[in-house]
Structure 1
Amino acid sequence: MPKATVDGAARPPRFDGLTAVFVNATLKRSPEPSNTDGLMRVSTRIMEEHGVGVEVIRAVDREIATGVWPDMTQHGAEVDDWPAILEKVLAADILVLAGPIWLGDNSSVMKRVVERLYGCSGSLNDAGQYAYYGRVAGCVITGNEDGVKHCAMNLLYSLQHLGFTIPPQADAGWIGPAGPGPSYLDPGSGGPENDFTNRNTTFMTYNLMHLAAMLRAAGGVPAYGNRRSEWDAGCAPDQVNPEYR
């Protein structure tokens, strides 16, 4: 919560110690400009100004193998950069998936990232919960055609299903006018100046930081009733055991 200064004015909150990973699922390899990166940087700038350590990964620049296992080199792939990326995700408090719209849907690169995140869904944390518990997630979407809400819906569902905690208003996006048109960073697009987009991006960013700080202070999500390890051991909380009927 913001603290009052001597004169009673609100002091902006600090989130020192929190870390965030942004995965940009653009189809454009570096150093080609990415419109998704342009909007994503609004969020990363706010986080960095408030003490969050941020790392940005452009997924298309990495050799991310196709598959749903944590390390696909153990399943036939010659090269797989995903294990190193996953290590960064698991070490962070915040994950933001950012990507473009193609034919009204998330990019092929984004779908591969989500598939690889799913490959760790069976792993457990030290409390016996699924590995992504205790982390928050959101998404940023850009394009010049309809699909922001559809793409965000798909990503936020996927992220919460895997165990991430989703704060209120955890998505932001920009598409400009309906139908093909200028992209976010194109001259005269109005994207960087768009008040609605900037408001949603700011709200998303603060909600991610606030909830991440709350989860860290609480030691993560309470473990009672959601431990996979207990369930597998036959200790299912609040389930009737037919042997005692």
Structure 2
Amino acid sequence: MALSNFQRKLNDESTYDFSGLKALFINCTLKKSPEISHTDGLMQMSKTIMEANGIKTELIRAADQDIAFGVYPDMTEHGYDTDAWPSIQKKVMDADILVIGTPIWLGEKSSIASMVIERLYGYSSELNDDGQYAYYGKIGGCLITGNEDGIKHCSMNLLYSLQHLGYTIPPQADAGWIGEAGPGPSYLDKNSGGPENDFTNRNTTFMTWNLMHLAKMMERSKGIPAYGNQRSKWEAGTDTDHPNPEYRT
């Protein structure tokens, strides 16, 4: 992905060290490879900025994976013959930053984006070493493309979902591009104006840097402080004013 002169200048003049961080991009296009994905086109901008700043990145196109439907960590334990999600979940847990990209269909995120959120949700009850929910300390954002309205609606849904699962969301954690209302060119189509759109480029750049900054801050602080938010402590019945009835002696 070719960056603008100003985007490259930001990279070249940065005094911040993001090396050691990892980012996972999940593209929820409905198209399998090698079909062109307009969502991929926008995600590549954020991915390129991160890589220029020393972050190790990976982009997964969910449609290429044999992901089972469900809300459990491994759906082969619930009637499915195969399920690619457990291996993806390992990459999710290994990453400091997660960016979900989706096209807009009927004003909503794609069905694959819904499935990805459901599978992320299936792991949300797991705990980290501090007894917090497993996604605590991880940073989330989203990128949206389409040729109909819905960027803010899709972003609202995705970012709410991620924070509900335990992700931390920085300011300006979403960006997107849409053409004129109704049928028309998509992001990478000739003369769409998408890759040149200043508003989209600015917001994608701001989102990317905010994700990187917050991930570095989280690394330095070693995550969210483990006090007052530990499920393991709550379930141990530490609230003596309102003891958990399951743990009464």
- Aligned: 1:217 with 2:220: yes
- Aligned-residue RMSD, C-alpha: 1.3
Question: What TM-score, normalized to structure 1?
Answer: 0.92
Query: What residue in structure 2 maps to residue 24 of structure 1?
Result: 27
User: Aligned AA for 2:229?
Assistant: N
Match of 2:82 among 79, 84, 92: 79
Q: Secondary structure at the match of 1:184?
A: coil
Using the alignment, how far apart are the partners of 1:14 and 1:218 within structure 2? 15
CA distance in 2, matches of 1:146, 1:205: 23
Q: Which residue of 2 aligns with 1:118?
A: 121
TM-score by length of structure 2 reads: 0.91
Question: Identity, % of aligned pairs?
Answer: 66
- Inter-partner Cα distance in structure 1 for 2:14 and 2:175: 25
Which runs of no fewer than 5 residues in structure 1 stay unpaired? 1-8
Greater mean deviation of Cα atoms: 165-174 or 176-185: 176-185
Equivalences for residues 174-189 of structure 1 within 5 A: 174-189=177-192
Q: Deviations over 1:3-40 (max 9, x none)?
A: xxxxxx95442310000000000001001110000000
CA distance in 1, matches of 2:179, 2:49: 23
Which residue in the other structure is 1:3 paired with?
Answer: none
Query: What residue number does 1:240 align with?
Result: 241
Q: Report the CA distance between 1:235 and its aligned residue.
A: 1.3
Number of equivalenced pairs: 232
Return the match for 2:58 from 36, 55, 67: 55
Gaps of 5+ in 2: 1-11, 244-249
Deviations 1:142-183 (A, max 9, x none): 000000000000000000000000000100100022222110
Question: Which runs of structure 2 are paired with 1:143-162 in the superposition (5 Å)?
Answer: 143-162=146-165
Letter in 1 for 2:90: E
d(CA) in 2 for partners of 1:240, 1:172: 45
Q: Secondary structure at the match of 1:205?
A: helix
What secondary structure sits across from 1:155 in the alignment? helix
Moved over 2 A (4+): 9-14, 239-242
Displacement of 1:102 = 0.3
